Amino acid sequence: MQKENVKIAIIGGGLIGLYLASKLSKQGHSVSVFDKKSEKDLGKKVCSALFSERIKNFIPQASDCIKNEINGCVINFPKKKVKLNFNPKHLIIDREKLSALLVKEAKNNLVQIIYEQELKELPAGFDFIIGCDGAGSIVRRLLGLPNPKIMIGAQIFIEKADKSNYVSTYPTNSGFSWKIPIGDCVEYGIMGDPKNIEKEFADFLKQQQVEKPRTIFSAAIPQPRLFLRDAGLILGSEENIILCGDACGLTKPWSGGGVIWGLTQADILLNTFPNFEEYRKQVVKKFRIPILKGQISKKLVYFAGNYFSMIIPSKLTYDNDFPCFIKSLIE
């Protein structure tokens, strides 16, 4: 199936929505992006903006938005520290600056961006609709599809210059907390169960001797539901409407980060467009095993780290996007 010069509506002007918009426009299609934010707020999102260097393979402009480089992560289990050396290394990205560059590119490619659109129904007059509107996707809700499992992420920023190149993480009862050197400041954050996160974050900040500020940024982080078909992702069955990224619940089970996985999924959509059925098949094939392995390995590593830390090596080389634990042990 091949259609030229079709009209496409992309709901959501985040990194993935703007990435798809420019690519589809370059294919000769008429693309409109709808976003509920104003133009000055586009790109502002509760996100650590810690991505692997792979982001430059998708979005070369990321090279101009680097605030710090991260070589790895230290996991602070109760009785042992485990040092993960990232391969590839990670980058702290100025997400607002990157978003502005993507907006500029999209406009140069004749993409129409429609701001401050709080949709109550799907826009009419389009051949295809792509939902890239995050964990609270209006597209998903209007289609009557189930919601993904939701974790909550919260973060604060302390004005203290820190160019160190390792992240520190601390397992909690329902997730994990972290300290990230941004460069011009330090981020303290947590991901966990909505029922427990407020107390867990307060305990973490107290442990770090950080005074709890008045302003705490928080957001929903979707997680795949393993009992659902399609690898726990929510893709729907419509011929002309599809979801991508956080909107369908695609985030890494062990960290909640979704940008590299979402961009990988976006490329599958671009390569199969407009055959959404083939897109669904390829997405499930690509992510079914990583999602399952991620859910299982997260539980095993946390259990071993808390109760049998002696069996975990002190140093590992680790691909944080597509990890293989056996390969990590060998390297």
User: The domain that contains 114 carries what CATH number?
Assistant: 3.50.50.60
Q: Please indicate whether residue 129 or residue 304 has the higher confidence score (pLDDT).
A: 129
Q: Specify if 33 maps to a domain.
A: yes
Q: Specify if 319 maps to a domain.
A: yes
In this prediction the pTM is 0.93
- Lowest mean pLDDT: which of 2-16, 93-107, 131-145? 2-16
Q: Specify if 1 maps to a domain.
A: no
Token pair listed for 1:
């199936």
pLDDT value at residue 325: 57
| Alpha-carbon span 83 to 72, nearest angstrom | 7
Question: Which residue segment(s) compose the domain that 319 sits in?
Answer: 7-330
The amino acid sitting at 115 is: Y
Would the pLDDT of 329 be above 50? no
Would the pLDDT of 277 be above 80? yes
pLDDT digits (tens, 9 = 90+) for 48-69: 899 999 999 999 999 999 999 9
Kind plus residue range of the DSSP H or E element containing 218: strand 217-223
| Alpha-carbon span 181 to 196, nearest angstrom | 25
Q: Specify if 284 maps to a domain.
A: yes
* Long-range own/partner contacts, residues 208-214 (CB < 8 A, 24 or more apart): 208/179, 210/156, 210/158, 212/156, 213/156
Token pair listed for 257:
């980060």
pLDDT value at residue 330: 45
> Chain-wide mean pLDDT for the chain?
91
The domain tally of the chain equals 1
Would the pLDDT of 38 be above 80? yes
| Strand ranges (E), 55-195 | 66-77, 80-93, 112-114, 128-131, 149-158, 166-171, 176-181, 186-192
Would the pLDDT of 1 be above 50? no
pLDDT digits (tens, 9 = 90+) for 209-224: 998 777 889 999 998 8
